[in-house]
Structure 1
Amino acid sequence: MFRGLYTATSGMMANNRQQQVLTNNLANAMTPGFKKDQSVMRAFPAQLIKAMESGGTTVGGAKLPASQKHIGTLHTGVYTQEGIPSFTQGALKNTGNSTDLALLSSSLPINPETGQQGAVSFAVSLPNNEIRYTQNGQFTVDDAGFLTTAEGFNVLNQNLQPIQVNSTEFTIGEGGQVTLADGTVNNSLFLSYTENPQQFIKEGQNLLRWAGDPALAPVSIELAGLGNTGPLVQQGYIEQSNVDLTQTMTDMMKTYRGFESNQKIIQAYDRSMEKAVNEIGRV
């Protein structure tokens, strides 16, 4: 009886975790460049059940069964894995602002081993000079003339240095080349590419941290040999979140029903145990 109680409890906890992931996706549905998280529910390791039949032999004082009859397997519950970002391309929105940049991933190759498409990101610098990545291209120009994120993090060029554009009168080429108002071309955006974007970890403020093998960390488009694959940046546009509102709401309702079903199972166990204690135990 208690094994089923634990199984239902694990189901409630797993559905609660999935609901948290979906709620976070819904809250960021209007955040530029936001990538939705996908959660996967998995079962705990299954137990193999066998029946021990009598009539065996005795070896060293221990009686061994004559045979073991295979009955089946028993799962002991479920759990929800950590949310994994989905790097599918979001819809593009025309803003007309020169500081708004959208990343284009349609021309990126697909990894033949994983079947997944790689991802390209902007590189930014934290106040402690650590490098982070973002797909939110809604930038601005600070008082010193540097291109920054809305939070004030410097956008980096091909040499991993801050980009100084001096004013909003600049243009960005399809490959990330920066042309200033006077026609000078002395910078290019550091467009980082990785074949396995699932190794990114979200850190808040729409920033991504590389958590995979340092030897496989994102490299520039040029080093990856993708400089001529197609346009990678579109100026005057922002990439919207890839959250599907209709699908997210449907998944939230389904998760709620799963939580409710497990809750009813626990209530049924509670009534059964109450009856066992107050009625059967009295006989």
Structure 2
Amino acid sequence: MRALNIAATGMSAQQMRVEVISNNLANMSTTGYNARRAEFSDMHYQQLARPGTVNASDGTVLPTGVQLGLGVRPAAVTVQLSQGSLSPTGGDLDVAIEGNGYLEITLPSGQAGYTRDGALKRTGEGLIVTADGYSVSPEIVIPPDARSISINAEGEVYAYFQGTPEAQLLGQFTMADFSNAKGLEAIGSNIFVETEASGPALQSTPGQDGLGTLRQGYLEDSSVDAVKEITDLIEAQRGYELNSKVISAADQMLAATSQVR
């Protein structure tokens, strides 16, 4: 009976949807996290009678035909690109991106990575890095005798020294954007890498070419909407239950058929 297999695909789809929702809820407090959404499409159709074919009995054309769907399949898990709210931290190396774009970092393999997590740190040598120790590109080194750091909206990093009223420019952050940012590959730790689907990185300075600006002393919160996720979770749970009822109904029909004498 087709209903058994069709309902099984429906249960698998709703299970995957619950897994995506659970990941969103687990990352409610992850800096710069964008919620994901599971998307599905219908599977192949069995054509018992194609629309437009001629009815052999009287020669009329079938207006709709008989097409039996065979279930549902996962199509994509899409990143919902939206700006999270900015929370003040007061940290001199905490920077939030207000608008489009990503900070570029250098991974241990030498490959470029991209992140919106602006919770930056400094190493013992003064190099500005991410929380996982990956250096921000271009590399900026803070001198050990610097008393304070200032980062303006355009990404320019200044250091103030004792006895010197003028700030010294240490470097400038650059940012990158993509023609299809949803095509980036997430590798964990709030890091994305370029793919053929995303297109090459389009680099510029903050505030230029459609890129956002930086705000020192703030971090971008997760964009997860807890109320929406809970609503979607209830809907997915009910969908799972309904598909399980279809399996139970199909099983009862098969049992009735097997008892016919």
TM-score in same-fold range (> 0.5)? yes
Q: Does the 8 Å CA contact 2:157/2:171 hold for their aligned counterparts?
A: yes
Q: Does the 8 Å CA contact 1:43/1:77 hold for their aligned counterparts?
A: yes
1:86 corresponds to 2:76:
no
1:266 corresponds to 2:247:
yes
Provide the residue aligned with 1:196 in structure 2. 180
% identical equivalent positions: 24
Displacement of 1:21 in angstroms is 0.7
Cα distance in 2 for partners of 1:213, 1:202 equals: 13
Q: Which amino acid aligns with 2:204?
A: I
Deviations 1:123-148 (CA, angstroms, capped at 9, x unpaired):
11111211100011111112121111
1:19 corresponds to 2:18:
yes
Q: Which amino acid aligns with 2:189?
A: Q
Q: Does the 8 Å CA contact 2:177/2:211 hold for their aligned counterparts?
A: no
Cα distance in 2 for partners of 1:26, 1:206 equals: 15
Cα distance in 2 for partners of 1:138, 1:41 equals: 35
Displacement of 1:257 in angstroms is 0.7
Runs of at least 5 residues in structure 2 that lack an aligned partner in the other structure: 162-166
Q: Which amino acid aligns with 1:235?
A: Q
Cα distance in 1 for partners of 2:77, 2:8 equals: 21
1:220 corresponds to 2:203:
yes
Q: Does the 8 Å CA contact 2:101/2:212 hold for their aligned counterparts?
A: no
Runs of at least 5 residues in structure 1 that lack an aligned partner in the other structure: 57-65, 106-118
| Structure number with higher strand proportion | 2
Cα distance in 2 for partners of 1:91, 1:55 equals: 66
The alignment of Structure 1 onto Structure 2 pairs a total of residues equal to 250
TM-score normalized by the length of structure 1: 0.81
Q: What is the RMSD computed on CA atoms of the aligned residues? A: 2.3
Deviations 1:150-207 (CA, angstroms, capped at 9, x unpaired):
11111112xxxx2212468211110111112342214111211223211111111111
Provide the residue aligned with 1:170 in structure 2. 149
Deviations 1:29-50 (CA, angstroms, capped at 9, x unpaired):
0001111111212111334442
Provide the residue aligned with 1:144 in structure 2. 125
SS of the equivalent of 2:182 reads helix
TM-score normalized by the length of structure 2: 0.87
Deviations 1:34-82 (CA, angstroms, capped at 9, x unpaired):
11111212111334442875579xxxxxxxxx67635243221112223
Cα distance in 2 for partners of 1:55, 1:96 equals: 81
Q: Which amino acid aligns with 2:236?
A: T
Provide the residue aligned with 2:164 in structure 1. none
